[in-house]
Amino acid sequence: MIPVTKPYLPSREKLNHYLDGIYEREWLTNNGPLLQELTQRLEAYLGVRNLLLVSNGTLALQVAYRVLGISGQSTYVEAITTPFTFAATASSLKWEGVAPIFTDIDADSWCLDPAGIEAAITEHTRGIVPVHVFGNACEVEQIDALAQRHNLKVVYDAAHAFNVTYRDKSLLSYGDAATLSFHATKLFHSVEGGAIIFKREEDLERAKQMINFGITDAKTIGEVGINAKMNEFQAAMGLCVLDEIEQNLAGRQTVWESYADSLNGKAKFQQRQTHVSNNYAYFPVLLNSETEVKALIERLNEQKIYPRRYFYPSLDTQPVFGNQHCPVSRDIAKRIACLPLYHRMTSADIASVVGGWNK
């Protein structure tokens, strides 16, 4: 069987070493030494500052909204976002009492089209939540400039953008905050987990308090908070995966480039922005019709190969998020599939996927 992805499992011996330390210290959570080490190492590896580890990527979004004042308002508020994304991008807004307002995507990059954002801004708009889809950079300069003109906060959902650079600078440096998911299926993971990278240190300090129930000190609860802390066992897995990140990246790159060579001209690929690096996390293909996508998936499934439709259906079709219409997103969502991609795929696995495609 060839699934769409497999989690990266690092050296068991190395993981045991970290776990032995947890047992010796009996310090399981609440800003333990492994969490502190992982924070420092990720900041250095990614080239960022003000990184806060949290228990998952959805809470990363919700905490960012709260800290930046997008959510937590007493009146009706909106945030502009993309319908071509995983449900958590929109549901995290809705959960925080913010109405997600969808605007359409660019037909080539599949990221939020800046041209539609300004027209959607109202007196109720408090923020913009673009997504770096499949690790492809949004039009960050245009979006950040637009937000400054209208006094809006920007939170980039960068769940796919671990280790991606734009103009030789971390893509996570843009916006007022960027969030990462460290779910088991991601390029870098801590089984479950996530992170927020803040532009301003004062936002980081407030977030540290907020993810620990809003507690200021032993006698004071400064504000209503939540429990969003990462624990030492998650940090141990993250450290092990980070130790081996280069071999993980190299394996994925081999698969990605093999697909690109073999399938060139047989499907449309995502048009990546100029000056943006590739972390080889996904290999999406765009076919001519939904009928072709269904036929391809059925043909591969018969051979126990399991691509997946990302991101289907387009979120603007879901009544839970309101009655909106984004035709480009709907069209792309119907015609796209992600091929299996993980670091341990063999040349035989790749040949099976390509062979199944060509049948």
CATH 3.40.640.10 for the 12-103+110-242 domain, yes or no: yes
Extract long-range pairs of 297-302: CB within 8 Å, 24+ residues apart.
Answer: 297/337, 299/356, 299/357, 299/359, 300/353, 300/356, 300/357
Token pair of 42 as six digits: 């990720």
CATH fold, domain 244-358, is Aspartate Aminotransferase, domain 1 (3.90.1150)
Residue 93's pLDDT is 98
CATH 3.40.640.10 in the chain is located at 12-103+110-242
Residue 219's pLDDT is 87
CATH 3.90.1150.10 in the chain is located at 244-358
Options 94, 169, 186, 229, the catalytic residue: 186
pTM attached to this predicted model: 0.97
Cα(47)–Cα(170) distance, rounded to whole angstroms? 6
Instruction: Output the tens digit of pLDDT for each of the chain's 359 residues.
Output: 999 999 999 999 999 999 999 999 999 999 999 999 999 999 999 999 999 999 999 999 999 999 999 999 889 999 999 999 999 999 999 999 999 999 999 999 999 999 999 999 999 999 999 999 999 999 999 999 999 999 999 999 999 999 999 999 999 999 999 999 999 999 999 999 999 999 999 999 999 999 999 998 888 888 889 999 999 999 999 999 999 999 999 999 999 999 999 999 889 999 999 999 999 999 999 999 999 999 999 999 999 999 999 999 999 999 999 878 999 999 999 999 999 999 999 999 999 999 988 77
Residue 22's pLDDT is 97
Known catalytic membership, residue 268: no
Residue 117's pLDDT is 96
Cα 84 to Cα 318, 345, 347: the distances in Å are: 12, 28, 32
Residue 357's pLDDT is 84
Residue 307's pLDDT is 97
